[in-house]
Amino acid sequence: MKQLRTALLLLSCSIIPISCADVRAWERGYLARDEMTWDPDPLESALNDHIFFSKEASSGGNSAAGGGCGCN
Amino acid sequence: MKFKQKSQILAFLALSAASMLASAVEEGDTAPIFDLPSIYSDQPAISTASLEGKTVYVDFWASWCAPCLTSLPLYNDMYHKYKDQGLEIVAINVDNPIEDGLDFLEDTPLDFLIPADPDGDAAELFEVIGMPTSYLIQPDGTVTLVHMGFRSGDIDMIEEAIKASLAGN
């Protein structure tokens, strides 16, 4: 039982580094595409924001700029 | 036994973390040696050996990186200005497929060396953190400037560094 628990612990420890594998700076071509942004259509999202603001009396906090290409 | 197990697990975790934290090329380091084919199929390969004795400005770029595309025509002007004084510019393209890079070059012809690195081999050697990143390398191989990103006004700072480097030759 104890051995099984240790084996499971080791297995989960080995999975953690795999899940942490990051996308390197030069591999972000797909992430930099327009369709990968949170708001592919700024006009539509501005309209949605406006409707949401009018209905809910709240605004902001919807998205962050950029698609994660790591550019400026 | 318990202590042994715990220390084994800790050692395993430490090794995993260390493998993820490879160090990037910094100012004062010796530039890594690379050998890459040109993006143009009719041009010879570009290697550190063929650049020996020159002040080399290495820039990593891709067609999907907007600031890179802003910087390249400015580098082209700078290349023409200083190439007679011994400046070489090597703009390593990391596009995969390389046709994306070639598409950009069709509209914006550049006169300096452009190696293709679609698998990121050279980018891995330099441990590039962001795009674009550029390195000013002295004739003796020492990196004297690491510049990440490209904003308006950066070109003046880079030109000053290149001028200082060429004056020191």
Which is more confident, B63 or A1?
B63
* B89 near A CB under 8 A: no
The rounded mean pLDDT for chain A is 77
What share of chain B has pLDDT > 70, as a percent? 89
Between these two residues, B31 and A50, which has the higher pLDDT value?
B31
Q: Classify burial at A5, counting beta carbons within 10 Å of its beta carbon; exposed 0-12, middle 13-18, buried 19 or more.
A: exposed
Q: How far apart are CA B25 and CA B31, in angstroms?
A: 7
**Contact by Cβ (8 Å): B166, B83:** no
Q: How many residues does this entry show for chain B? A: 169
Q: Is residue B80 part of a domain?
A: yes
Flag if B130 and A25 touch (Cβ within 8 Å): yes
Determine whether the interchain pair A24/B16 forms a contact, defined as Cβ–Cβ distance below 8 Å.
no
pLDDT at A59 over 70: no
**A16/B66 Cβ within 8 A:** no
CA distance B161 to chain A (A): 22
Considering its fold, how many domains does chain B have in total?
A: 1
**Is the Cβ–Cβ distance between B58 and B92 less than 8 Å?**
yes
Whether B19 maps to a domain, the answer reads no
The reply to whether B15 falls in a domain is no
- The answer as to whether B5 is a domain residue is no
Percent of chain B with pLDDT over 90: 79
pLDDT of B51 reads 92
Instruction: Give the residue numbers spanning the domain of B161.
Output: 25-167
> A-chain residues within 8 Å CB-CB of B64?
28-29, 32-33, 69
User: A17 in contact with B at a CB cutoff of 8 Å?
Assistant: yes
Q: How far apart are CA B56 and CA B36, in angstroms?
A: 15
Q: DSSP 3-state helix, strand, coil percentages of chain A (rounded to 5)?
A: 55, 0, 45
> For chain B, what is the mean pLDDT?
90
Measured between CB atoms, does B95 come within 8 Å of chain A?
A: yes
Q: What is the ipTM of this complex?
A: 0.73
Which amino acid makes up residue B121?
A: D
B66, part of any domain = yes
Pick B9's closest partner by Cβ from A10, A28, A33.
Answer: A10
- B94 touching A, CB under 8 A? yes
| Residue B14 forms contact with A (CB below 8 Å) | no
User: Is position B106 within any domain?
Assistant: yes
User: Does residue B141 lie in a domain region?
Assistant: yes
Please check whether residue B18 lies inside any domain of the structure.
no
CA–CA distance, B32 with B26 (Å, rounded to integer): 11
pLDDT > 50? residue A72? no
The Cα–Cα gap between B88 and B115 comes to 13
pLDDT tens by residue, B28-83: 999 999 999 999 999 999 998 899 889 999 999 999 999 999 999 999 999 999 99
Q: Is the pLDDT of residue A2 over 70?
A: yes
Q: What is the CATH number of the domain that holds B132?
A: 3.40.30.10
